[in-house]
Amino acid sequence: MLRVVKTENGLVRGLPAADPRITAFKGIPFAAPPVGELRWRAPQPAASWEGIRDCYKFAPISMQHIPGLDPNNIYTREWNVDPEIEMSEDCLYLNVWTPAKSPDEKLPVFVWYFGGGLQEGNTAEMEFDGERLARRGIVVVTVNYRLNVFGFLAHPQLTKEQPEAPTNFGHLDQQAGTRWVKRNIAAFGGDPDNITIGGQSAGGMSVLAQLTSPQNEGLFQRAIIQSGISASVYPGRPFLARSFAEGEQLGVKFFEFLGVKTLEEARKLDAEYIRDKNNEFRAFFGTLDDGVFQVGTYNENLMRGRRYKVPLMITRTESEFKMGLRAESMEEFREKAEEIFGGDAEKFLELCGDDLEEAIKRSAFSGIELAARALRRREDELGIGQPIYYAVFDAEIPGWDNPGTFHSVDLWFYFETLAKCWRPFVGKHYDLARQMCNYWANFIKKGDPNGNDADGTPMPEWKPLTDAVPNAMWFRDKPDPIVDEPDELMKLLMKVYLEKN
């Protein structure tokens, strides 16, 4: 087994995972600590070291609010369980799980970006253990990155000082980590020309940012977007819709809140002070169209074919991010419907009915499904022939809180880490997780999720999404039949969304 590996900066030593055929390397530096004068700059090269660096534990998590303090928060119960977890601005480290016995194996590589709204999250979360996926012949890498105001501040002084990297530092960290993988993963038995990037929630949005950035040509060969893409035609400001100029002005206000006027002053402040003031400030710092890393929004770029032409996997849970047309009265509901749907408004209203509460409920749809289907239609129009595989997670989730298929619960299954969860999962859940992880591994290996289960029998066929039929793979433990065809509401939504985009 590969227990000691030579990277570009020096030797690293890992430990056997629970399965000793897998070696886990935790806390490998891929960039210099982004502290002091390197705060709010693009990641810089890591320093080299002498001897062997023991990579036995996760590095400190990025600066964020202290996790695990709210007992009523489902994610505190689920995986943010340790309020005393180490936290530091020195956070640019990654982790590798490899099943390779030698550096010559050229195994497929999976690079994972965690979620958390770009405000929180870390690679040490229990569900992200890469061992089970590595058992399937994958080299798994999880990349840490800067968050919130540390990772996504914009400010006129930054723009003037470093126009080549004025913001989006967290995405640049992800990019730097993936580039490190490209340069170093062969030493871990991985194939630098067979890399899949993946992420969930804000990690999925990060995949979209990397997928549409002009700076990433040839960096990866496939992409997995889990609960990280969405579309709507209903009124409301889209998530991450702030302009760069607005982002700069938010940065100006934050400096005022900090009590500083210059970058020099701000870079001298303690990280804990900035973290705590950011928590008080209660603003969202996230992806911005800086004209360098991110040129246009990723949704705009996707709908215009401006992405790397690689196979995609798009997934969601059944109950997350359902959107209904909000109104205070049926009169307002009708007015909004007429404004949105025009000549098709009566058809929409007929589908929704005359009772306001029921109409709002019937108008609800999955923004992820609309985004996936609209992307498939547009890419067909543009002649982009890459497959898109679409899946819905719809299993019964046990526990006293009766949570349903809440946002992120599918991660326990894709990583096949159910045994780390407090929930009383039983055999059917473990069987489902095994298959979901199998599909994942197959897609990472060859861009096609289909293949055999552990006993050699073929798993149910997962067909690519088509314009006519969603061809969704439903991951569920229920006997109810699935109606796998676009309904009338989705057809109306598609028509309007494509006309506007």
Q: What percent of the chain has pLDDT over 90?
A: 93
Question: What does pTM read for this prediction?
Answer: 0.96
Is the sign of the CA dihedral 408, 173, 181, 211 positive or negative?
Answer: positive
Within-domain flag for 388: yes
Within-domain flag for 410: no
Within-domain flag for 119: yes
Within-domain flag for 490: no
Number of separate domains in the chain: 1
Within-domain flag for 467: yes
Which of the residue ranges 47-51, 96-100, 470-474 would you say has the lowest mean pLDDT? 470-474
Within-domain flag for 77: no
Q: Rounded distance, CA 22 to CA 140, Å? A: 11
What CATH number does residue 31 fall under? 3.40.50.1820
**Domain assignment of residue 289, given as a range:** 4-69+86-318+366-404+441-484
Asked if residues 470 and 486 have their Cβ atoms less than 8 Å apart, the reply is: yes
Q: What is the pLDDT of residues 133-164, one digit of tens each?
A: 999 999 999 999 999 999 999 999 999 999 99
Asked if residues 198 and 207 have their Cβ atoms less than 8 Å apart, the reply is: yes
Residue at token pair 């096949």: 416
pLDDT of residue 269: 98
Within-domain flag for 333: no
Structure tokens at 234: 């209903």
Within-domain flag for 281: yes
Q: What is the pLDDT of residues 386-427, one digit of tens each?
A: 999 999 999 999 999 999 999 999 999 999 999 999 999 999
